[in-house]
Structure 1
Amino acid sequence: MKTTKNKTLSMALATALIGSVSSQYAFAESFTEALTKGTASADFRLRYENVEQDNAAQDASALTLRTRLGYTSGSFKGFSAMVEMEDNRIVLGQGDYTVGPVGYNSGIYSVIADPEFTELEQAFIQYKGDGFSAKLGRQVITMDNHRFVGHVGWRQDRQTFDGLSTQFSPLKDLTVKYAYITQRNRIFAEAADVDAKDHLFNASYKTSIGILTGYGYLLEVDNNTDNALDTYGIRFTGSTQAGDTKLLYSAEFASQSSESVSSNFDADYLMLEAGAVFKGVTAKVGYEELGSDNGAYGFSTPLATLHKFNGWADQFLGTPAQGLVDTSVTLAGKLAGGGWTVVYHDFEADEASESVDDLGSEIDISYARKYGKHYSAGIKYAAYSGESGRVDADKLWLWVGAKF
């Protein structure tokens, strides 16, 4: 009887051991499969840029090749990982331009903000499940139309952030986002990166006539000083059909406070846009006001994709102390398999002074198209006519790209 019990116990232990080993093996196999059976990506952009300005700086030209290589793992119990490297090189010796923050040709040529570099572009762990997702590590973070938080994808060194980002959808049409940023990885390799303690809040609700969004962006540079740039706003954007015409509309308002040891400022932001799409052609009229605090401070958006706004000539990457009012007209459509865009900007100061009032005007033109699944090419031109002491500037870009 004792022998039978021992045999039974031995069999039970053996079965449990085999089950445990099998379970651990299956776990290890699934985990290994998630790591090894992921997706590799490659993104190349060869671009020529030319800048001419009516100042003492010599005309600038750059031919650069940006290479981005990445790998995204498969998913294991909702978790995945991603790593991406980015590199930019001057091609054929065409590097007659200035990049001030990295000390390249300082003070000689006009600026083209594409330094040579090799860096870790993204590296994060991600979780997705039940309407919730989170990323921890170096990553791209964008909010809405990039006006306040963007990736500056136009430059060869894309902007990323170190930190934690989350997204939650408690209701079908409600999306809530939160991000905490510990470092802003700017567009000048590591030369202009900024340690930070930024909190980003964004909640949007989809209605039958558009998307209503509320946000709060609480920015702080982590430099052992008292400083804060807090922006709270509301945004609505949508469209509706009127016969054969699609009507477009957007409105946004934000209030900002900037506080430091030596100064305190307040300024407001207002954006209104209306347009229509008819027979494939889009026409829009826009009004954007980055307000001023008595001519001493202009509304600031330091995390934005600034090239997208206030003209492609990049003459207002920093808002003037007198503020900025940008009235624009945009036409866009399709041609020969690609897309064309023409934009006119008229710039004025929000709070004019005797020396600063009319801030000039600009014409922007672009055409881009894709070739097959992987290739693209484009041309883009910006002509800024300066006033109130600002110089004229002309910029031209030609590029080809490939993504795999």
Structure 2
Amino acid sequence: MQIARLIRRTSPLFLALVPTLAAAAGDAGPILDLRYRYEHAQQRGIAHDAHAHTLRARLGYRTAARHGWSALAEADGVARLGGRYNDTRNGRSGYPAIADPAGTEINQALVRYAAGDNAATFGRQRINLGNQRFVGGSAWRQNEQTYDGVRLQLAPTPRTTLDYAWIAGINTVFGPEDSPASHRANPADIEGHSHLLRAGWRLAPALTATAYHYRLDLEGVAVAAAAPLGSLASRTTGLRLEGGHGDWSYAAEYARQRELDGNPWRLDSRYLLAELGYALRGATLKAGYESLGGGDGPGNHAFQTPLATKHVFQGWADVFATTPAQGVDDAYAGAAVPLAGGSLQAGYHDFTPQRGGGRYGREIDLSYARPIPGVRGLGGLLKLARYRSGDRARTADTDRLWLQLQYAY
């Protein structure tokens, strides 16, 4: 906890020193990323529709490597340009949540040493592990999630990799500040001593295995606003197999989640995944089944992924950002097709409880992304999600629409 606080206090000083480091190293480069987004949300049971106009500006500097050492620092500022919505901090509970509160924060401030395929990173950093199902940056939100700590990445042999991170603090998408409207399930910052360990083996040209163990000591946060603090402290152990042959790709995964010391609840739930993909004339097709198991006992003891990039999974409407107590099974199919210089993407999800029977509902997702002609680095995105509940006592009909322009230098 003290290290996390130290990083937060010294990050502004580090940001000021980076240009000096860059001048010494040579070949330095600035970072500029501007992202405007309009988001509309409509949810059954909430009085008003939400409309949000936001702008995220990211400024930073990356040094060139000198004797293996380099540095990076960047700051994010999120501005509210208009609209009415619940940003999780303004108390507007009569509107659907759009978790893009305004504010400015140091997004990354790090020093890195690299030698060949081995690297060590110290400070506030972006961590995206694998497909980000368990640990990621949630970069879809305007305020990215980053981590205060140390990460070691090693390649002992050409066929093996090791990845370990010690995390002292997490800067969530709900930051940079708490407010009277925030609660224990959406803090701006999470402290604790968490450990992330992964080991990968290339078993064959068409098959890779990755074993992982994540110990999340998450203090001051809970699975729900009314749940006890510490109820997200967990230890998750799993194995993922993935690969491809010709035009086919495939993945299978299994994990078990138990409670960590300090969690007042006993946890014992499972994660399962099976996915098959196929590439056809520039298009990518995929279908799969993902299960996050429910748990026993009062309260929500289901399999949770609190550090994941959740928007990528279980539909863009984010109905299941927290796994329900009964768990959730997701049978899905999707496609990405090149179209008119851009990419058209479509997805379908059928959600059912992992325990207890019944069904949650179905979702259709569509998006089209394309570079804007005439301006290098500028791209546009149109995206929508439509969720329809099959059991209105547990989930609510939800529609979301996004229009986005992003410029990156």
- Summarize deviations over 1:8-67 as a string: whole Å, max 9, x none: xxxxxxxxxxxxxxxxxxxxxx97743564111101111110001111331000111111
Q: Is the 8 A contact 1:42 1:68 kept in 2?
A: yes
Paired residue secondary structure (2:141):
coil
Structure 2 vs 1, CA of residues 275 and 226 (structure 1 numbering), >3 Å: closer, same or farther?
Answer: closer
Paired residue secondary structure (2:317):
coil
**How far apart are residue 107 of structure 1 and its match?**
1.1
- Summarize deviations over 1:136-175 as a string: whole Å, max 9, x none: 1100001000000011010000000000011011111221
Structure-1 separation of matches of 2:58 and 2:52: 19
1:398 corresponds to which residue? 403
Matches within 5 A, 1:3-402: 33-35=23-25, 37-91=27-81, 94-100=82-88, 102=89, 104-190=90-176, 191=178, 192=187, 193-206=189-202, 207-222=204-219, 228-241=233-246, 246-259=247-260, 260=262, 262-294=264-296, 297-352=301-356, 357-371=358-372, 373-388=376-391, 389=393, 390-402=395-407
Structure 2 vs 1, CA of residues 397 and 141 (structure 1 numbering), >3 Å: closer, same or farther?
Answer: same
Report the TM-score when normalising by structure 1: 0.86
Structure 2 vs 1, CA of residues 352 and 178 (structure 1 numbering), >3 Å: closer, same or farther?
Answer: same
The amino acid that maps onto 1:160 is: T
The amino acid that maps onto 2:194 is: D
Structure-2 separation of matches of 1:252 and 1:223: 30
**How far apart are residue 95 of structure 1 and its match?**
2.7
Structure-1 separation of matches of 2:200 and 2:24: 33
Q: Is the 8 A contact 2:265 2:301 kept in 1?
A: no
Paired residue secondary structure (2:267):
strand
**How far apart are residue 261 of structure 1 and its match?**
5.1
Q: Is the 8 A contact 2:230 2:264 kept in 1?
A: no
Paired residue secondary structure (1:34):
helix
Aligned residues: 364
- Summarize deviations over 1:181-212 as a string: whole Å, max 9, x none: 00011001233210021100011123300321
Structure-2 separation of matches of 1:185 and 1:140: 10
Paired residue secondary structure (1:264):
coil
Structure-2 separation of matches of 1:255 and 1:307: 22
Structure-2 separation of matches of 1:301 and 1:32: 37
Structure-2 separation of matches of 1:223 and 1:188: 14
Structure 1 window deviating more from structure 2 (164-173 vs 307-316): it is 164-173
Structure-2 separation of matches of 1:31 and 1:280: 43
Structure-1 separation of matches of 2:230 and 2:303: 19
Provide structure 2 residue ranges, at least 5 long, that are not aligned to the other structure: 1-19, 179-186, 222-228
Structure 2 vs 1, CA of residues 139 and 32 (structure 1 numbering), >3 Å: closer, same or farther?
Answer: closer
Structure 2 vs 1, CA of residues 293 and 79 (structure 1 numbering), >3 Å: closer, same or farther?
Answer: same
Structure 1 window deviating more from structure 2 (380-389 vs 342-351): it is 380-389
Structure-2 separation of matches of 1:119 and 1:33: 24
Structure-1 separation of matches of 2:271 and 2:54: 36
Q: Is the 8 A contact 1:34 1:75 kept in 2?
A: no
Structure-2 separation of matches of 1:47 and 1:189: 18
The amino acid that maps onto 2:85 is: Y
Q: Is the 8 A contact 2:302 2:324 kept in 1?
A: yes
Q: Is the 8 A contact 1:45 1:400 kept in 2?
A: yes
Structure 1 window deviating more from structure 2 (315-324 vs 56-65): it is 56-65
**How far apart are residue 347 of structure 1 and its match?**
0.2
Q: Is the 8 A contact 2:336 2:343 kept in 1?
A: yes
Structure-1 separation of matches of 2:334 and 2:263: 42
Structure 1 window deviating more from structure 2 (205-214 vs 151-160): it is 205-214
2:8 corresponds to which residue? none
Structure-2 separation of matches of 1:272 and 1:211: 15
The amino acid that maps onto 1:167 is: Q
Q: State percent identity of aligned pairs.
A: 37
1:18 corresponds to which residue? none
- Summarize deviations over 1:318-354 as a string: whole Å, max 9, x none: 000000000001122100011111111000000016x
Q: Is the 8 A contact 2:271 2:293 kept in 1?
A: yes
Report the TM-score when normalising by structure 2: 0.85
Provide structure 1 residue ranges, at least 5 long, that are not aligned to the other structure: 1-29
Structure-2 separation of matches of 1:34 and 1:365: 47
Structure 1 window deviating more from structure 2 (277-286 vs 146-155): it is 277-286
